[in-house]
Chain A
């Protein structure tokens, strides 16, 4: 066999096979399974057509989950990308001086801890009786602000979101720091000669030059928001009464607690559609950013 120009695809065949087997085939299979009623311990499958999808759109818990994922995504983008950028700019500025690396490391540290450990840590911080947070609030005279952080339906999901911001803002900040450090020094010098102050330099030199990175980090946080699972699983299991349920945990519970593999597959298809669409939109935006 001769390897001519037209045989280029032979070189990518191994990769295609691997990705096909482990990514694309399961995705198609998952869609196929969503049309059946089945559980994990029998081989019996009953065809139910699209009825799982009809049910999803009537399912209150699904909407709660979706709302929680969206809330998580919005807050994460604002806090992690927004605040992360501000922190990165501050660290790169002259204000931090010799402590620059110290600040960077301290802020980056939480993202190195495993989510499960962080979840347990915060579970204890949030504990209404012996937790640090309520004790602190009581100490400084804000007793009326104490809550059963993970058990009150209006507070619980925000408590978990807050924990994630604590964990990941530093990570996003470091990504942005790298982008800032890649900006040519001449641009700053030129701005200084023009008499720009710190804020003006940030707005007109740094931000336009790290646009690509801001888009990338937004994609990461939004997709991360829809893949959310461990935090919820460790801290509340979706409770109290499903108010902290997200798509990931709802999928898991449907599959392994309620024996509804097919319904869980249908939820998975929805998650896939959302993240896939989000990626496409953001890739498009990233391209337009170049032009």
Chain B
């Protein structure tokens, strides 16, 4: 009797161990071997609806409300489909998406940043290859070609934009007049504008770097303009070569404008800095075009007719193409493990398409990647003009932080905070980054 009980105990213990240990392996086995092949699913009906999980990254009422409205409209037009809309805010999204993609509860259509951020999921087989879908009847022609490039990896297409974007300077016209300065055309002029504003007792640049992706936008742009082509080899996690002297030069140039930021940059959030700029506490700010609607909606009346935009000034003598614009679209992709590939693709086409795009432009002030939306008169003038900056650019340069391997990004951004505080020299920053980048290459 006693022996039996012990046996029972052992069996139960082993079983429990086995069950917990298997947890992570199960989803893989459950996947269809070729998920682009439509699984055998019955036509969805109102009685037996199909639920698609849709994950985006804007929990704020305005944006989340918009996507929910779009989902409801889609449900009405497509009986038998239920769209389960979920939203996670920017910074936590970066962490949580990795966890949900590891489970078999992964969202069917989800948000992502193109570049290395997405590439690692592509390498892990989590993102559906949409090349066939896009090539069939030239469906891809429905999108603005330049905005689809970021979603193309090794010749395969994986997604489409939810909003196009680019980084520009906004400036306070009154303050510029007060200091007697004009829009700078070159980097040297830009530095001198900062000097003159400062001399006039105006804080030249509003900057909030508590979450250090903010600084990465400056450095990403300077790297592109000064270093040029070699940035691609540097950011590629498999190569990671930061030996080009331009990387140090870029930081040295950046150091020249550090004195012209507001105080306590590491203590202020980017959004707080924007508030300060809107309240006319600083003359300029380097922001994303998608933030302009924020100024229109929430800025005080005094700023509305009192601001203008200009592009990042040219770096004379830089090796990079000076017509390129820092800024990448953000987009949606389809999960490779979705149980309803056909329905997921259909919804993906809808949410990145022209119909939603037009409503999006007017409701939230963003432009998605569909062709034929950016027409004068159909969308607001400022949105139209800013969009032209994106479309007229010689090309787009990915955000530094989503363009590189997470570990390299972390080292780079942490060190940049220290550079701003004067604790590291440009050379030391690049040495540290190179060290981590080399470490990372060993994983490829």
Task: Point out residues on A near B: beta carbons under 8 Å.
Answer: 1-2, 6-7, 10, 13, 17, 20-21, 25-26, 29, 39-44, 127-129, 148-153, 237, 239-242, 252-253, 256-259
Contacts and interface: CB of A to CB of B under 8 A. Distances in A.
B16 A257 contact: no
A10 to B, nearest CB: 7
Interface stretch (B66-74, B95-103, B131-139): B95-103
B1 interface: yes
A42 B102 contact: yes
Nearest to A13: B9
A127 to B, nearest CB: 7
Contact of A20 (B13, B126, B267): B13
B20 A39 contact: no
Interface residues of B, number: 47
Interface in B361-410: 406-407, 410
Nearest to A37: B443
A48 to B, nearest CB: 11
Given A1-B1, A258-B406, A259-B406, A41 B264 contact: no
A20 to B, nearest CB: 6
Nearest to B420: A240
A39 B406 CA distance: 12
A10 B5 contact: yes
B262 to A, nearest CB: 9
B360 interface: no
Interface of B: 1-2, 5, 9, 12-13, 16-17, 20-21, 24-25, 27-28, 91, 94-96, 98-99, 101-102, 120-121, 124-126, 210-212, 263-268, 272, 276, 406-407, 410, 414-415, 417-418, 421, 423
Given A1-B1, A128-B263, A148-B267, A25 B17 contact: yes
Contacts of B124: 39, 41-42, 44
A41 B16 contact: no
Contact of B101 (A41, A149, A253): A41
Nearest to B9: A13
Contacts of A43: 24-25, 27-28
A52 to B, nearest CB: 14
Nearest to B92: A256
Nearest to B8: A13
Nearest to B264: A148
Contacts of A39: 98, 124
8 contacts: A2-B1, A17-B13, A21-B16, A41-B99, A151-B267, A241-B417, A257-B94, A258-B407
A41 B98 contact: yes
B443 to A, nearest CB: 8
Contacts of A10: 5
A237 to B, nearest CB: 7
SS of B interface (majority):
helix
B210 A239 contact: yes
B222 to A, nearest CB: 20
B264 A256 contact: no
Contact of B98 (A127, A239, A259): A259
B16 A17 contact: yes
B225 to A, nearest CB: 26
Given A40-B99, A237-B211, A239-B212, A7 B406 contact: no
A40 B106 CA distance: 12
* Those 5 A-B pairs whose CB atoms lie nearest each other, nearest first: A151-B267, A256-B95, A151-B266, A148-B264, A148-B267
A63 to B, nearest CB: 15
A17 to B, nearest CB: 6
Contacts of B95: 252, 256-257
A25 B17 CA distance: 7
Given A43-B25, A258-B410, A20 B98 contact: no
Contact of B20 (A26, A127, A152, A242): A26
Nearest to A128: B264
B268 A129 contact: yes
Given A41-B126, A240-B417, A256-B98, A25 B20 contact: yes
Contacts of B417: 239-241
Contacts of B125: 42
Nearest to B281: A129
Nearest to A126: B267
A240 B266 contact: yes
B414 A241 contact: yes
A42 to B, nearest CB: 4
A161 to B, nearest CB: 17
A29 B1 CA distance: 32
Contacts of A258: 406-407, 410
A170 to B, nearest CB: 28
Given A150-B267, A151-B266, A241-B417, A41 B13 contact: no
A242 B414 contact: yes
A126 B207 CA distance: 18
A237 B265 CA distance: 16
A148 B266 contact: yes
A73 B363 CA distance: 51
Nearest to B106: A41
A241 B417 CA distance: 6
A241 B418 contact: yes
